[in-house]
Amino acid sequence: MVLGANKEQLMKRQLSLRVLGLSLALLGAIPCWGEDSAQPASQAPTTARPARRSGPPVMPASFDRETVQRLVDHIEQGHNASILHVGYFMRRKQHALPQSKGMKLLNEAISKETAGSKRWFVMQTLRGFAAFRATGVASDEGLEAYTAIFDQAAKAKPAKAEYQLRQAINEYVFGMQGRIRDLGLRYDERAQDLLLKAWSAYVTHVLPGQTAKGQSASRVRQPMWAAAIQDADLEEKFLPLLDKFLKSPTTPKSYSLLKEASMLYAPSNPKRSLALLLQARPLVPTSNKLEAGRFFDLLAKALEKEDRLPDAVQAREERVKLTGKGQPQLARLYYQAKNDKALDATLQALKLPSASSRDVVDTIDELSKVYSQDRIANLSAGVRAADLASNYLKMQQVRDVEHELSARIALGDFLIGQKNLAGARAALKIDHLKPRLTTNATKSYVQYIQLLLKKLNDTKKVKVENK
């Protein structure tokens, strides 16, 4: 049971970290100014020393006009683009040369460059990223830069700029869920059309190259197409393009393409979505446990929606086998599939002192949800949840305070429903936890417990009146 969580802020924080991760990973952000410390602008080299794979790039002491001009003039050398990207345009601090003037220097250099050259791709990619973040720069510049890149996508391979094209696509797609959305451009027709252009460039010029090189989803960061397109309400425009692309015999059916396509079809065509997931199943990067877990979560949910419970159980079992996680959801499916033997074995394992506290509490929560849907037909789910909660609370071990509160709520609620008011009152007693009830999350749990105690007192009052 999760209470008091600010989901939107968490998602924004995750997206911000993803963008930073892309900036560092895609740009190869490693030192080029010097081996140990920043150098004065006048001594800053224009080419990189041998790459040192540790830590972020060492920045110049000051981003003055001379330094920024030098970096722009030699942007394709070493990690100079990386330093401008991460150190100058991404940092919201006052530089010696304002970012708006730095953008003018970059634009002047672009105007002198041949469109479609590698150096042009490097500069346009930087321009697109910076325009949505730099102080004093119009966001229109970002739209213009990305439009130019995607329009010239066919020239990326001859120019040996596939890396920069992939970087631009990734940053734009992530930006549609983060910075670009924050600027109020999510529903801007230009931004939406550009997202479709990004998709076209991706499937035409990036995806075939990755497939030919055998690059797997575990090693290549893929754009989050489904999230970006759904966030921009573009499914109606996008799905016909996707359908045509998937039906083409020349389309490379990679794991990431099939998974992302499935997520896009899920709201309007769940059967098509499931078919794509099943097609992707043999391609799952099982060495990447996090990605494998996400995939089998998607597959199990899709199978459940289509009332294919035995297949959903198999998907959950495979998830547990590959990742060691997912027992709570599997326990719920065992109950729904009436596989008492497997369910009881799972619950017995969760009663051991070595069991994960998180798994125990999540399993209690899963079974309690089933019980709450129909407290008569699913009484045995409530009994099992209460039994697991009771066992958890009796164990002599230090428990996470939120886990304990969640278990007490589940047990107390069940016992109130069974008219065991004394047992419920004991379960909801939290005096011993008062010194630890200091966070907003724990306060939310306490408020819920107070509601249950009121319910308990009201039930007791009715019992007395009935006598």
Q: What is the reported pLDDT for 467?
A: 54
Average pLDDT of the chain? 84
Tokens for 365, please give them.
Answer: 């929560």
In this prediction, residues 144-157 reach a mean pLDDT of 95
Give the confidence band of 209 by pLDDT, cuts at 50, 70, 90.
low
Instruction: Tell me what percent of the residues of the chain surpass a pLDDT of 90.
Output: 59
CA distance 301 to 29: 39
Q: Is the pLDDT of residue 216 over 50?
A: no
For 82-112, the pLDDT digits (tens) are 899 888 988 777 899 999 999 999 999 999 9
Decide: helix, strand or coil at residue 263: helix
For 227-253, the pLDDT digits (tens) are 888 888 888 888 888 888 888 887 778
Q: Is the pLDDT of residue 45 over 80?
A: no
CA distance 169 to 376: 53
Cα 17 from chain centre: 10
**Positive or negative, the Cα torsion across 342, 344, 345, 349?**
positive
* Burial annotation 316-331 (CB, 10 A radius, 16+ → b, else e): bbbbbebbebbbbbbb
Query: Which domains does the chain carry?
Result: 326-467 (1.25.40)
pTM of the predicted structure, to 2 decimals = 0.68
Decide: helix, strand or coil at residue 202: helix
Q: What is the reported pLDDT for 257?
A: 82
Dmax over Cα atoms in the chain, in whole Å?
Answer: 93
With 0-12 / 13-18 / 19 or more C-beta atoms within 10 angstroms meaning exposed / middle / buried, residue 12 is middle
Among 292-296, 336-340, 390-394, 397-401, which stretch is predicted with the lowest mean pLDDT?
Answer: 397-401
CA distance 407 to 386: 8
With 0-12 / 13-18 / 19 or more C-beta atoms within 10 angstroms meaning exposed / middle / buried, residue 193 is middle
| Residue indicated by tokens 């997520």 | 263
For 322-345, the pLDDT digits (tens) are 999 999 999 999 999 999 999 999
